[in-house]
Structures are given as structure tokens and as C-alpha cells.
Amino acid sequence: MKKGEIYEGVIEKVDYPNKGYVFVDDQKVVVKNGIPGQKVRFVINKKRSGRAEGRLLEVLEKSPLEMRKPVCSSFPACGGCMYQTMPYQEQLRMKECQIKSLLDQAIAAGGQTDSQGRPDYIWEGIHGSPIEFGYRNKMEFSFGDEYKDGPLSLGLHKKGSTYDVLNTGDCKLVHEDMTKILTCVWKYFHDRGISYYKKMQHVGYLRHLLLRRGVTTGEILVHVITTSQEEHDLEPLKEELLNLSLEGKIVGIMHIINDSLSDVVRSDETRILYGQDYFYETLLGLRFKISTFSFFQPNSLAAEVLYSIVRDYIGNTKDMEVFDLYSGTGTIAQLLAPVAKEVIGVEIVEEAVDAARENAALNGLANCRFIAGDVLKVLDEVAEKPDMIVLDPPRDGIHPKALPKIIAYGVEHIVYISCKATSLARDLEAFLAAGYRVERACCVDQFCETVHIETICKLSRKSGFRGENMILTTERLILRPWTDADAESLFEYASDPDVGPIAGWPPHKNAEESLGVIRNVLTGAECYAICEKGSNKAIGAVELKLNGHTDMTESDDECELGYWLGKPFWGRGYMPEAAAELIRHGFEDLGMTTIWCGYYDGNNKSRRVQE
């Protein structure tokens, strides 16, 4: 099998988000954008390290799961939908299997299993969207052409293309009001022969059409986004838009100037042609003011389902300090505020924070505080300590340097909302290693016909977890808070002939004596189990013995480094790697000025400064 070769095969399985698997002569090839059971033709576009990826060229035979006809004229060329030929219940079944499989693997790898080795948590299934079509409250359409030098088009990009734009005037992901507006805008500019912006040459006028519509209010914002390279009178367009027969009502028409070289929707200047630059939406009894670039869940009705589950997972927050990290426009914070002592939301997008503050005031909530900034930095500055944490990070998940700070709070419960389950599965490794367990999980389909889905997990701190210390990571290792159960793992290694007795300790008569020694020695507040990444099993331990727990220290800014690791792992350089990270932690996080390294010279304990 070589790059550029063309093959045919049947997609056996599709993993999240859209990774299909085709087998060719026992070689597994990843082919994206397919449905299980489809016979496809594909070209090999990547081949390395025994792995192959193919680009879908053509669907030769439909899948047995494709039991209905396409609902729009642009399918399957359009990249907006993937699964519209599948009945909705089949879509839900496939998505649920994908997410559960992903979580099962992550939770089992973290050591959270029952006596049969199966992942031990409560899976609560998938919740579908209340409406399957016309659910999106926001859509960005692009100006372009369907083929090179073709007539003006306005719609969504062709699947796999960054240049070709399809006319999607009958898109079923949005309300009919939006498609009427799209058709009106396209016809206006098409009839006048106005140019579109060409990304490679950086010339032209028309860029995007951004539409937002409140599902519960029917209020609509229209944004025509252009460059400043030409000037055109948009007053006639405004009048045509206002004369459209719509179910909802246009409350604002904006002309946004965007001269950025990158193909993003942003504003260098916003001109209000009509009305206002915001609309209102209601969610679970709260009212939200949403502006042009404010983040808001794109499926309002499914968002109500999502946030109802989140509220249930969070439980009673009476008199609690709650942190809502990656808070967006503060929807979750405001749902929790009525009974909480205080909710602090942290969000990096300043406009979203401004909207959150305004919406909290609109809903009469005085105990919501929103901070604009990066979670990684804000957690070092905020004085309050949370009783509960809600996480709703962007698609890439939580910043790896922010994870230890979140875990270090040691709160009893954390609720994690993820729009990309692979990021959630990666982050769960750190939470499980730090002494948390997944109690409940489910998913909510906010994005019917597409590959995307929201996942919700409730994590609880296991008894015996020492929440005062942090989780530390190196290239190959995780250093997590020590628990008494880890003594069993260390004794298991010490009992293995290939590992040998615990280094530096006298021989022990039996397992009970060995376990007793381990438990008595590893008692400090800064004691960590050493685990290989991808495993929750302790292969060693390392600790900083603070003043009062060692005869080597003379003041509170001194401590002693202690460690144990089985002999096979010394050869891999694990101990220097673990010790170096703990020394860094001592100096940088704990403010130590001296770290002593105790070692035995015969039977006499010596002391020397760890360089």
C-alpha cells in the first residue's frame, strides 16, 4: 500500500468524531466522513509507521443505516451535515456508542474498574435534541463561487474545500427565516455583480453573512461582512430585508468591515444600518442579551436539556463558593447563583465577560462575579477557595498547566462539560490519577446531522485523597497524591524477584510488616505516588518531608527529599525524572530555599544539599 493508490472497501466502524475504518488485506485504513456500512472508494494520502489514512473519493454503495432521502439539495457535497440520510434515532445510537467507548477506555486505563475489570461508573445514555432540524440560532455563511471563476455563491463550503462555496438556500440546520434572508442577500449582490473577497489574492468586497436568531424570541440579527476595498450603498438591501415575510422579526442589521488577511469573522468597524446590535434569548427561565460575537450554545432548546442535566449533576450549592471556569457568557453561573453563596466565572474573551455581567444584572443576580482572563493565570490571583468547580473548556480541553491548579483545590465534586470528548478523555487521566473518580456521565446531542456532541461528567473525590497537594507531570510520569491503597502496589513490586527488596530498608519478615513500614514512612502532606502515564498503578513514591517531619530540616523553608522506586525503573531514568519534578515543585510552588537529600552511608544517615 502506497501513497496515491486508490482502493475500495466497506467502512466497518466509525469512532468519534468521524474516523471510519476500512480494512484492505488486513491493513486498517482511517477514512473520514463516512457512515458505517458504506462501500467507498478512497485514495491513500498518508502512510507512515504502519498506519494509513485515506481520503474519501466516492460512496459506491449506501449503508443499511441510510434509510431516508436527503432533506436538502446540497447533500452530500456540503460540509455542514454528515448524517442526514440516517434516521435520527440511528444517529443517536451511533454517537452514544462512540462516546461511551471513549470514556470506558479512559476510565478503565485510570484504574476505575469493578472486580471484573470493567469501567466502574454510571452511564446515563444520550439525550437527543428536542428538534432535529432548524435548531441552530447562529450560522456563518461565506461568499465565493462553486467553481473557479463561477458566478457568486453564498452558503457553506464544499466538503473538504476551503475555497468552493455552495449555494445553500435550503439549508435545514437553520430556521426558514434564515434561509429567506440568505437568499435575499445573495440575490441582491448577485444581480449587481458585486465581487467577493478572494483569500489568496486578498482582493474583493463580500466576505460573510452572519445570522443570529433567538429560538424562543424570534429576534434576528443580520450581519453583512465585507472588506473596505469598495463602497456600496446598502440602504436598498436594508429595505428588502425589512420587507421579507418572516415568522420572527429582524431587530438589527449591521455592516461589519473586516480587512483581516485570515478567513475569520471579526470586526474592524461595525456600522448599524438598522435597529440594535443585540437580541434576547431565554433559557430555563433566565433572559440573556446576546450581541454579535457573544458565545451562546448554538442549539437553544438542546442547551436547556444540557444545563438541566448540569444542574442535576451539580446538586445542592446552598451557601457554596462555586467556580465556573471557562464561563462564556455566564449561563451556568447564573443558573447556580440563586442558591449559591457566590459564583465566580472566569473567561478569557472580554466581550463574553461584559455580556455575562450585563446578563447577571438583567436577571437580578448580585452574587455572580465574572473575571476576564486566562484560567491558568486567574487561579493564581483569586483569593477565594471553591467548594465546587464547573468546567466547560474550549474544544482543546483544559490547559495542562491549569489542570494541577484546579485539582489542587481538592473540592469534593467537579462537573466537566466537553464539546470534544477526546479532550475530555485525555484530561480524565489527570483527574483519576489525582484521586477523583467518575460518578456519572452522559451526552447531549446539540448538533443533529453532524459529528459533534456534548459530554457531561460528574467527578467526585475519593476518600483518603489528600487534596492539599497537587498533581505533577513529567514527559513519562504522573506524580499524584499518595493514598494508603498504593502501599499494596509498592509491596507487590518489592515482592517480585526482578524488583528486589525496598531499596535502603532492612529486610521484612512478612507482607504485613512491609506494608506497615511503607505506610509509616510515606506519611507526609507532600507525598506522591509515581505512575507511568496511562496507568494509575503506583510503581514508586516520592515525597518532600516538611519541617517537623524530619531531623534534617531547621526551618519551615527547608525540606527533605525522600523516594522509593523498584530496580527495573531505575534503569529507565524514572527516579531522576520524578525527583527533578518534585524538587522544582518544592522551590517554585512551595517556596523552599533548601531541599536536603537524605541517604544512607552504611547505617549512618548523612545530609547534603540537593543541587
Kindly state the DSSP code that residue 609 receives in the 8-state scheme. B
Nearest 5°: phi and psi at 482? -70, 140
All three cell numbers of 180, joined, read 429567506
Nearest to 291 by CA among 303, 305, 277, 304: 277
Q: 143 with 207: CB under 8 angstroms?
A: yes
**Measured distance CA(437)–CA(323) in Å, rounded:** 19
**Measured distance CA(27)–CA(544) in Å, rounded:** 50
Nearest 5°: phi and psi at 433? -65, -25
Q: Based on C-alpha coordinates, what's the Rg of the chain?
A: 29
Q: Is 171 a catalytic residue?
A: no
Beta partners for residue 59, in sequence order: 40
Other Cβ atoms less than 10 A from the Cβ of 80: the count is: 22
Nearest 5°: phi and psi at 278? -150, 160
Collapsing DSSP to helix, strand or coil, 497 comes out as coil
Collapsing DSSP to helix, strand or coil, 372 comes out as strand
**Site of grid cell 451556568:** 332
Beta partners for residue 39, in sequence order: 10, 61
- Which of 78, 368, 419, 457 is catalytic? The answer is 419
- CA 226, 230, 233, 236 torsion-angle sign: negative
Nearest to 328 by CA among 292, 374, 283, 295: 295
**Measured distance CA(129)–CA(302) in Å, rounded:** 5
Strands 138-145 and 122-127: unpaired
**Site of grid cell 444545563:** 307
Beta partners for residue 542, in sequence order: 528, 563
All three cell numbers of 43, joined, read 485514495
Could you tell me which residues come within 8 angstroms of residue 242 by beta carbon, excluding any fewer than 6 positions away? Answer: 250, 253, 274
Give all strands of the β-sheet with 249-257 in edge-to-edge order. 152-155, 138-145, 206-213, 219-226, 249-257, 269-275
Q: 498 with 539: CB under 8 angstroms?
A: no
**Measured distance CA(210)–CA(290) in Å, rounded:** 14
In terms of residues, how long is the chain?
611
Burial of 270 (0-12, 13-18, 19+ CB in 10 A): middle
All three cell numbers of 358, joined, read 450585563
**One-letter amino acid for residue 95 of the chain:** K
Residues classed as catalytic: 419
